Amino acid sequence: MDAKSNNAVIIYTDGACSGNPGPGGWGVFMTIDSVRKKFFGYSVNTTNNQMELLAALRGLEYLETQSNVILYTDSKYVQQGITNWIYTWLKNGWKNSKKEDVKNAQLWQAIYQKTLMHTIDWRWVKGHANNEGNMIADALAVQGRDKAIEILAGCDKDC
């Protein structure tokens, strides 16, 4: 898919986590027409894979109408999961090749529903390799993770 000829929405996503599990954040940087949008979120107890998935989901949820999308992720887990593995999971009732429940199935299912609405070209991009969109998404994910750490620092032991 060519971004210019198809008027594609460009989305860069990233996740960040301190510890695995631990406090984490997700970031989305997108361009719709010529408008740039940036947003992030966090969780005080999560995994890096969950944050990577949530970033992709939140980016797609932002789109209210059917769109052509080029979604960049530096997570092979996300890119390969949604373009390859998911078809086996669907066929096997959300079980993996070892007949175990697929990890993060609710997030995968929500993302899969978005693939039915949009035309998405899932592209892997090497992280921390001077790609502007990836660097912005990474900074947003780190901002989210830092917010989760800040919240935890203000909590007592029951938080």
Of 33, 93, 100, 128, which is the active-site residue?
A: 128
Is 156 catalytic? The answer is: no
Marked catalytic residue, from 52, 59, 81, 133:
52
* Ramachandran sector of residue 92 (left: φ over 0; alpha: ψ -120 to 50; beta: rest): alpha
Residue 68 to residue 65: CA distance in whole angstroms: 10
**Phi, psi (degrees; rounded to nearest 5) at 74:** -95, 15
- Could you confirm whether 74 is annotated as catalytic? yes
- Annotation says 138 is catalytic: yes
- Is residue 2 annotated as part of the catalytic site, yes or no? no
15, 24, 41, 59: the active-site residue: 15
Rg of the chain over all Cα atoms, to the nearest angstrom: 16
Given the residues 27, 81, 138, 144, select the one marked as catalytic.
138
C-alpha dist (Å) from residue 17 to 22, 85, 86, 109, 118? 6, 24, 24, 22, 28
Structure tokens at 31: 């361009």
Is 110:55 a contact under the CB 8 Å cutoff? Answer: no
Nearest to 152 by CA among 40, 39, 24: 24
Q: How far apart are CA 24 and CA 21, in angstroms?
A: 8
Q: Which of 59, 74, 133, 144 is catalytic?
A: 74
Catalytic residues: 14-15, 52, 74, 128, 138
